[in-house]
């Protein structure tokens, strides 16, 4: 049996129209249960007796489509005024597992805040009957044992998603304001006859913005105790995006202050708190190494690697197909998948929800929507600390290749300087990589085969790589364009001038004459060209391994093979000879074999020699 809302989507009419048809007896087999119409799944759409033109009908149906919830994290609004993807079975799984304190780590903009607000509305005691927001959802059909939890708990809810400031003073002021507002949501405690005078005094102190840092660090513990005394049932505490101020503290150098506060703040709320029914937190990273959750042995962490809750953050493929059908965009499935699919949470394939709804709202225009919603500090930090080996692997990832990496879910920003290999762990949990194959190790880490998820994330890699080259070497977009244009036009003197221009401005930042350095540099300079070329690095072809191969995506472009060599202290003549050796090696080793097997006959060969700031290119 289906609800009026579900039938309305199937028939392309409003929910009100379906209700009216049921009332008039025009839907065969319909029954009413608890004031709600239940319609047989196979019930056909009845004729309403009006004669309308096809054009009018199409416009009418289009106008009745609900808008997509871009930027809406209010559950009540999202499910009533917008197209809502039903994630309420998250409640069922949560109640089945009965974890005392749960931490959900997912990338930004994957629905964490909306899901937490859904949990708040479902569980929270309220003067209004909030069950009406769930009677047509999947959770309501799951059984009385789940419905009996609806509206039965006091709830403490805080979201730190907007706590992004440059100093500890400003950060603390914002946290204080959020706590003041949350205490205000529970203003019934001011006049509770069940609280002691000193508890009322503390409550009013927070409410009036007069509590000190020490007092506020204990505020969750004290508020949970007061709520239990008032309602005779322990509250649920929900903390959304708990690690946002911690990440800001790391980036803005007030890390010790924010860690010190959060340790006491969370300890009072979740460690040995007898006044807690359940605790839920969301974030991007698991900050376990900082002892924020020290001694909290009942914390259950659910990450992108775990099968539990794998379909509740982000959109699954069936959900995406249903959205496309609803908005009449089913023919865009392949394009949408190419741009925004590719994540794996647990063993489930997941689409980026923010990008999907923006793509459809913008008339199915493919753009990098997710990467423009905030700073990409993770990738910036990665590029700043990456070793030559890791830099080369990042460029390989950009070309669609896979990399074997050890994933430690406890990684934090600070660990980048301790072990650059932690880069892959950060990129995975932050949404910049996907784990294809994974093998759990004895120490709790995972050995994974990782890759870039989709075209949208490839776009941010390219953007950040160019930005990184601009920062460290003063390369301009004009220089990058000049290099690309020279390759397109087979203008190798122009190419040499473009690379030389970059070298003259950047090489002083390095003390390196290693070939691997120049290899990474050239890969970075041509990374923007992957719309026209598939770029490969260090791959076998003929009798050896070429340095860089640019395979054209369109037959109007030539194939390009580059062999790079570098030595320190060469004069002009020696540099000429070295570039000639590099060019000769391409022919001697048959590096063009791979392209010729693919039917590419127009192949340009480049022998490129470096020495300090100098570069020489030989072509054939």
Q: Which segments of 129-221 are extended strands (E)? A: 155-159
Would you state the pLDDT for residue 519? Answer: 76
Residue 614: which pLDDT band, with cuts at 50, 70 and 90? confident
Cβ partners under 8 Å of residue 275, min gap 6: 221, 224, 225, 227, 228, 234, 235
The pLDDT of residue 200 is above 90: yes
Report which of residues 293 and 478 the model is more confident about: 293
String of DSSP letters for 457-482 = HHHHHHHHHHHHHHHHH---HHHHHH
Residue 414 has pLDDT above 60, yes or no: yes
pLDDT at residue 508, as a whole number: 47
Cβ atoms < 10 Å from Cβ of 148: 10
Q: What is the mean pLDDT of residues 76-95?
A: 97
The DSSP H or E segment spanning 210 is none
- Residue written as token pair 């590719």: 342
SS (H, E, C) 370-388: HHHCCCCHHHHHHHHHCCH
With vertex at residue 349, the alpha carbon angle to CA 345 and CA 353, rounded to the nearest 5 degrees, is 85
Q: Which residue has the higher pLDDT, 311 or 430?
A: 311
For residue range 158-184, what is the model confidence (pLDDT) as tens digits? 999 999 999 999 999 999 999 999 999
Give residue 545's region: left, alpha or beta (phi > 0; psi -120 to 50).
beta
Q: Are 282 and 241 in contact (CB under 8 A)?
A: yes
- Residue that the structure tokens 């997710």 belong to: 370
CA gap 451, 397 in Å, rounded: 6
Residue 44, pLDDT score: 79
Distance CA 496, CA 504 (A): 12
Beta-strand (E) ranges in 153-225? Answer: 155-159
Q: Is the dihedral of CA 484, 488, 493, 496 positive or negative?
A: positive
Contact status, residue 616 vs residue 576, Cβ threshold 8 Å? yes
Q: What is the pLDDT of residue 48?
A: 46
SS3 193: coil
> For 51-55, 173-177, 434-438, which range has the lowest pLDDT when averaged over its residues?
51-55
Q: Please, which pLDDT band fits residue 415 given cuts at 50, 70 and 90? A: low
Q: Which residue has the tokens 């205490």?
A: 183
DSSP per-residue letters across 44-91:
PPPP-S----HHHHHHHHHHHSPPP-TT---HHHHHHHS-----THHH
DSSP notation for 417-459: HH-GGGHHHHHHHTTS-EEEEEEE-TTS-EEEEEE--SHHHHH
Averaged pLDDT score across all residues of the chain: 84
Query: Looking at the predicted structure, is the pLDDT value of residue 50 above 50?
Result: no
**E strands within 247-379?**
278-283, 299-302, 315-316, 343-345, 348-351
For 412, how many CA atoms within 13 A lie in the half-sphere containing its CB? 18
Please check the confidence at residue 481 and state whether its pLDDT lies above 80. no
Task: Write down the H helix ranges in 144-196.
Answer: 144-147, 168-185
- Token readout for 575 is 């540099």
**pLDDT above 70 for 466:** no
The structural architecture, per CATH, of the domain 75-164+232-302 is: 3-Layer(aba) Sandwich (3.40)
Question: Which range (44-58, 93-107, 236-250) has the least confidence?
Answer: 44-58
Per-residue pLDDT tens over the stretch 122-152: 999 999 999 999 999 999 999 999 999 999 9
Domain boundaries in the chain?
4-64, 75-164+232-302, 315-364, 377-456, 475-619
- Asked if the model's pLDDT at residue 287 lies above 90, the reply is no
Q: What is the mean predicted confidence (pLDDT) over 408-412?
A: 70
More confident residue, 272 or 524: 272
417 band by pLDDT with thresholds 50, 70 and 90: low
Pairing state of beta strands 540-541 and 446-451? Answer: unpaired
The CA distance from 134 to 121, in Å, is 9
Check pLDDT > 60 for residue 506: no
CA distance 163 to 611: 48
Percent of the chain with pLDDT over 70: 84
Helix axes 492-506, 515-526, angle to 10 degrees: 120
Residues of the chain above pLDDT 90, percent: 49
- Return the pLDDT at 31: 80
CA atoms of 94 and 96, how far apart (whole Å): 5
Confidence of residue 585 (pLDDT cuts 50, 70, 90): very high
Residue in the structure block whose two tokens are 């001694």 = 295
- pLDDT band at residue 528, thresholds of 50, 70 and 90? low
Residue 61 has pLDDT above 50, yes or no: no
Residue 204: its pLDDT value, please? 95
In 97-235, at which residue ranges do the beta strands (DSSP E only) sit?
101-105, 155-159
**Residue 617: both structure tokens together:** 């290119």
Has residue 239 got a pLDDT over 60? yes
CA distance 394 to 289: 26
Check residue 49 and give its pLDDT: 40
pLDDT of 416 over the 70 cut: no
The label of the residue with tokens 């060209």 reads: 529
pLDDT mean over 595-610: 89
Q: What's the confidence (pLDDT) of residue 532? A: 77
Q: Is the dihedral of CA 590, 591, 592, 594 positive or negative?
A: positive
End-to-end CA distance of the chain: 71
Lowest mean pLDDT among 141-145, 194-198, 445-449: 445-449
**In this predicted model, which residue has the larger pLDDT, 104 or 53?**
104
Pairwise pLDDT comparison (598 vs 63), residue with the higher score: 598
Strand partners of residue 156 = 237
Q: What is the pLDDT of residues 307-346, one digit of tens each?
A: 999 999 999 999 999 999 999 999 999 999 999 999 999 9
Residue 510 pLDDT: 44
At 279 the pLDDT is 97
Q: Which residue has the higher pLDDT, 429 or 474?
A: 429
Copy the structure tokens of residue 482. 């000049």
Q: What is the pLDDT of residue 523?
A: 73
Task: Answer with the residue of higher pLDDT: 605 or 544.
Answer: 605
The reported pLDDT for the residue numbered 288 is 53
How would residue 386 be classed by pLDDT, with cut points 50, 70 and 90? low
User: Which pLDDT belongs to residue 462?
Assistant: 72
């Amino acid at each position: 049996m289906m609800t009026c809302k579900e039938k309305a989507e199937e028939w392309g009419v409003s929910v009100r129209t379906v209700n009216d048809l049921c009332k008039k007896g025009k839907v065969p087999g319909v029954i009413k249960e608890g004031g709600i119409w239940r319609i047989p799944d196979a019930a056909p759409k009845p004729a309403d007796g009006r004669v309308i033109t096809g054009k009018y009908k199409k416009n009418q149906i289009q106008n009745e489509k609900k808008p997509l919830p871009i930027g809406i994290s209010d559950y009540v609004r999202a499910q009533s005024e917008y197209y809502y993807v039903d994630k309420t079975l998250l409640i069922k799984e949560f109640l089945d597992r009965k974890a005392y304190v749960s931490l959900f780590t997912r990338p930004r903009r994957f629905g964490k805040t909306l899901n937490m607000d859904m949990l708040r509305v479902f569980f929270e005691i309220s003067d209004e009957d909030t069950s009406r927001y769930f009677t047509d959802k999947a959770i309501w059909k799951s059984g009385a044992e789940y419905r009996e939890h609806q509206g039965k708990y006091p709830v403490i809810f805080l979201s730190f998603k907007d706590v992004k400031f440059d100093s500890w003073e400003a950060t603390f002021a914002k946290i204080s304001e959020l706590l003041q507002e949350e205490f205000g949501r529970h203003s019934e405690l001011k006049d509770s006859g069940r609280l002691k005078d000193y508890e009322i005094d503390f409550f009013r102190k927070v409410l009036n913005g007069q509590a000190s840092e020490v007092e506020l660090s204990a505020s969750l513990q004290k508020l949970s105790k007061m709520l239990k005394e008032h309602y005779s049932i322990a509250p649920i505490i929900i903390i959304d995006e708990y690690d946002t101020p911690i990440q800001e503290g790391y980036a803005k150098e007030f890390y010790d202050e924010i860690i010190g506060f959060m340790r006491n703040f969370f300890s009072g709320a979740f460690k040995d708190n007898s006044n807690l029914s359940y605790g839920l937190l969301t974030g991007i990273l698991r900050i376990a190494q900082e002892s924020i959750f020290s001694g909290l042995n009942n914390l259950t962490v659910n990450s992108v690697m775990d099968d539990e809750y794998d379909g509740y953050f982000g959109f699954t493929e069936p959900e995406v197909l249903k959205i496309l059908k609803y908005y009449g965009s089913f023919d865009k499935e392949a394009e949408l998948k190419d741009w925004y699919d590719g994540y794996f949470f647990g063993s489930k394939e997941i689409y980026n929800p923010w990008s999907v709804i923006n793509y459809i709202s913008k008339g199915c225009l493919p753009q990098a929507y997710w990467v423009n919603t905030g700073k990409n500090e993770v990738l910036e930090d990665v590029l700043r600390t990456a070793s030559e080996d890791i830099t080369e692997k990042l460029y390989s990832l950009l070309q669609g290749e896979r990399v074997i990496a050890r994933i430690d879910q406890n990684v934090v920003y600070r660990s980048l300087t301790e072990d650059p290999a932690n880069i892959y762990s950060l990129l995975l949990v932050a949404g910049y990589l996907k784990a294809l194959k994974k093998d759990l190790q004895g120490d709790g880490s995972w050995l994974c085969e990782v890759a870039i998820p989709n075209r949208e994330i490839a776009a941010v890699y390219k953007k950040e790589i160019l930005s990184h080259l601009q920062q460290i070497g003063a390369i301009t977009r004009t220089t990058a364009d000049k290099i690309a244009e020279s390759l397109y036009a087979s203008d190798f003197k122009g190419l040499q001038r473009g690379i030389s221009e970059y070298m003259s401005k950047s090489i002083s930042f390095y003390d390196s004459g290693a070939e691997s350095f120049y290899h990474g540099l050239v890969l970075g300079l041509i990374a923007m060209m992957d719309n026209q070329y598939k770029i490969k690095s260090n791959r076998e072809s003929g009798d050896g391994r070429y340095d860089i191969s640019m395979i054209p995506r369109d037959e109007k472009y030539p194939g390009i093979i580059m062999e790079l060599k570098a030595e320190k202290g060469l004069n002009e003549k020696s540099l000429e000879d070295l570039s000639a050796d590099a060019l000769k090696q391409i022919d001697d080793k048959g590096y063009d074999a791979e392209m010729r097997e693919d039917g590419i006959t127009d192949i340009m060969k480049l022998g490129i020699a470096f020495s300090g700031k100098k570069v020489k290119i030989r072509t054939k």
